Amino acid sequence: MPSIDLSDPVRVTERIIERLGSVPIDYEERVDFIRSRNGTEERWLAAGVILLLHHHGGAGADRGFMLQIIKRSSLVPQPGDLSCPGGMLDPVTDRLLKSLVASGLTPIMRGRPLSLARARGSKTLGHIALFLTNALREAWEEVRISPFNVRFLGALPSRELYVFSRVIFPVVGLVKREWKFRPNREVERVIEIPLAALFDTERYGTLTVEIESKLPFRHEVEPVRNFPCFLYTPPGGREEVLWGATMDIVMNFLEIVFGFTLPEGNSHRVIRKSLRPDYATGNQRTPSP
């Protein structure tokens, strides 16, 4: 467990803000990389995602910070995977709205997090505001959370999704008030994972992924690969597996903010997963009513 008391929402939130505000991020370099590939056969895309945290003030297992993560439906790429709300950048809409977010005129980006983002320089501030806007717009579309119910806490270093030629720009947000999950067709459900559970090393394992040769990835990948994973069973639900890029984002957050890293060889379970051809495209058929 981390040295800080996770039941203290004020101290934990302050720690998240300060740690994220001081970590180096690479948004300028990665945006330049994407621009350099525009108009070429090796075109890369940008996507903003948001790691949502919410503090429940209830009792027992329902109390404390939760990660609110979506499970992707069968209709979209990477069906069944857990991911942060977000998606592809809309170069028109998101750029129009980013200035309003970065100005501090909305409750989304204010106070200490905004000051720390401004200290990184105007270009980086602009990129952070752009991908925050991008992620919040997508989160509204996916699960109907109001952008004004989210407080920006900071940005995380980018992550590369090599097989899809994408760069993911993650930001962290605090959900201020309880909200009703209303997933759209892209989301099967919203899963809440207690922050405290992520420090339990017994919940981690190894996921062996078998990749079918028919998958239309843009780059060649090994047919069998091992990934660290986190295993969690929601109350009344079935076991879920967090792995891949979202696992990287979550682990990066835990390391930056709390100094938590998973010990090597700490795989208590080994499970297998096969990626079928529709993993890259989703099932494009509309389900019958």
Q: What is the pLDDT of residue 58?
A: 64
Q: How far apart are CA 206 and CA 204, in angstroms?
A: 7
Q: What is the pTM of this model?
A: 0.91
- Comparison of pLDDT for 266 and 24, the residue scoring more: 24
Domains of the chain (ranges, CATH numbers): 9-279 (3.90.79.10)
Range name among 116-120, 148-152, 170-174, 207-211 with the lowest pLDDT average: 207-211
pLDDT band at 60 (very low <50, low <70, confident <90, very high): low
CB atoms within 10 A of CB 1: 10
For residues 156 and 53, the answer to whether their CB atoms sit within 8 Å is no
pLDDT band at 61 (very low <50, low <70, confident <90, very high): low
Q: Does the structure show a pLDDT above 80 at 284?
A: no
For residues 68 and 190, the answer to whether their CB atoms sit within 8 Å is yes
Provide the angle, in degrees to the nearest 10, between the axes of the packed helices 9-22 and 111-118: 10
User: pLDDT of 194-250, one tens digit each?
Assistant: 999 999 999 999 999 887 666 555 555 667 888 899 999 998 889 999 999 999 999
